[in-house]
Amino acid sequence: MFKNFFSDFKKKRNLAKLKDEKFRFLFEKDSSGEYVVFDTETTGLDVKKDEILSIGAVKIKDNKILTSQTFEIYLKNSAEISSKSIEIHHIRPCDLENAIDAKEGIERFLHFIGSRTLIGYYLEFDVAMVNKYIKKSLGIELPNEMIEVSEIYFDKMMPLIPQGNIDLRFDTILKKCGVPDMGAHNAVNDAIMTAMIYLKLTQESNNVKTSI
């Protein structure tokens, strides 16, 4: 109760800062029944300095991952991409030829997610990255509800591994959940894999112990 009250309060304060009325929909009650799983590729892990290179997202409805409505954009960046980060995200400068302006890209992303609940793996970071952009342009932070898959996984594994040394690396969760590795780690593929993990963990809530 108090938690709800607190989040409502936070939401209202957030809304009060909204500079552009066009984005009021982010605060409306979601009626689609869908979730959005998203992942970003960035130039680095420092929210303050680094920038978003690409965003990949898919919607989940019931037991389906709507890959038919996959969202994928590449964003223009202010600086050269360092060769070290290329090793991680495999986005080369030439891959950004179809990139669009950050402002436009982020707005398109906001339209894609609407007020749906967001799902991700270490979502906090991805959300912080997006917030960095919209704070500047819209004055707000993402108001959406959030679900962290590594948290669900942790809760599920807890009773099985009492010592609590639960390996929360993405690859480990992937393997433990029996989700196929889609190979290339780009934003969209990661989002799809995360979505599969989410479905695996939630759809099968009762007999997950036997299969993990």
Partner 1 sequence: MSILDQKQLIASIHPFGQLSSRELDALMKKIDIAYYTKDTLLISKDIESIAFYIVIKGTVHEYIDEQLHNVYSHGDSFDADALIYGKTESKFVVDEDLICYEIKKEDFLDLMQNKEIQSYFLQDFISRHKHLKEFDAQSDFTPFLMARVSEIFLHKACIVDADISIYEALKEQKKLQAKVIIVQKDNSHTIVTDTDLREKVLLERLSVDEKISQIANNEIITIQSNDFLFNALLIMTHKGIKRLIVTEDDKIVGVLEQLDLLSFFANHSHLVAVQIQKASSIEELQFVSEDIKNLIVTLRAKGVKARYITKLVSALNEKIYKKVFEMCVPKELQDKCSLLVMGSEGRAEQTIKTDQDNALIISDDVDEALFVAPMEQLNSYLLELGFPKCKGNVMVSNPFWRKTLHDFKLQIKEWLSSLDEKELQNLSIFLDAKSVAGEESYLTTLRNYLYENFSHRDDVLAHLAKAVLYFETPLSLFSGFVLEKEHNNKLDLKKGGLFAIVHGVRVLALQYKVDETNTIERIKELNNRGIIDKNFAEELIESFDTIASIRLLALLEAKDLDEENYINPQKLSKNQRDLLKDSFKVVNKFKKFISFHFHLNMVV
Question: By CB under 8 A, which span of 3-11, 58-66, 80-88, 147-155 interacts with partner 1?
Answer: 58-66
Q: Which helix (H) or strand (E) holds 194?
A: helix 187-203
Q: Is 98 in the site for partner 1 (CB under 8 A)?
A: no
Q: Is 91 in the site for partner 1 (CB under 8 A)?
A: no
Q: How many residues bind partner 1 (CB under 8 A)?
A: 23
Q: Is 172 in the site for partner 1 (CB under 8 A)?
A: no
85 vs 61, 96, 97, 191, CA distance in Å? Answer: 34, 14, 18, 20
Q: Is 200 in the site for partner 1 (CB under 8 A)?
A: yes
Backbone angles phi, psi at 35, to 5 degrees: -120, 160
Tokens of 46: 């420092």
Selected from 53, 75, 179, 191, the binder of partner 1 by CB under 8 A is 179
Q: Is 212 in the site for partner 1 (CB under 8 A)?
A: no
**Least distance in angstroms from the C-beta of 67 to partner 1:** 5
**Least distance in angstroms from the C-beta of 64 to partner 1:** 5
60-89 positions binding partner 1, by CB under 8 A: 63-68
**Least distance in angstroms from the C-beta of 198 to partner 1:** 9
> Which string of DSSP letters, residue by residue, matches 63-90?
TEEEEEEEEEEEB--SSPPPHHHHHHH-
Backbone angles phi, psi at 24, to 5 degrees: -60, -25
Q: What angle do CA 99, 105, 107 make, to 5 degrees?
A: 170
Q: Is 93 in the site for partner 1 (CB under 8 A)?
A: no
Task: Give the total residue count for the chain.
Answer: 212
Q: Is 142 in the site for partner 1 (CB under 8 A)?
A: no
Q: What angle do CA 112, 149, 99 make, to 5 degrees?
A: 35
- Residues contributing to the site for partner 1 (CB under 8 A): 63-68, 178-184, 189, 192, 195-196, 199-200, 203-204, 207, 211
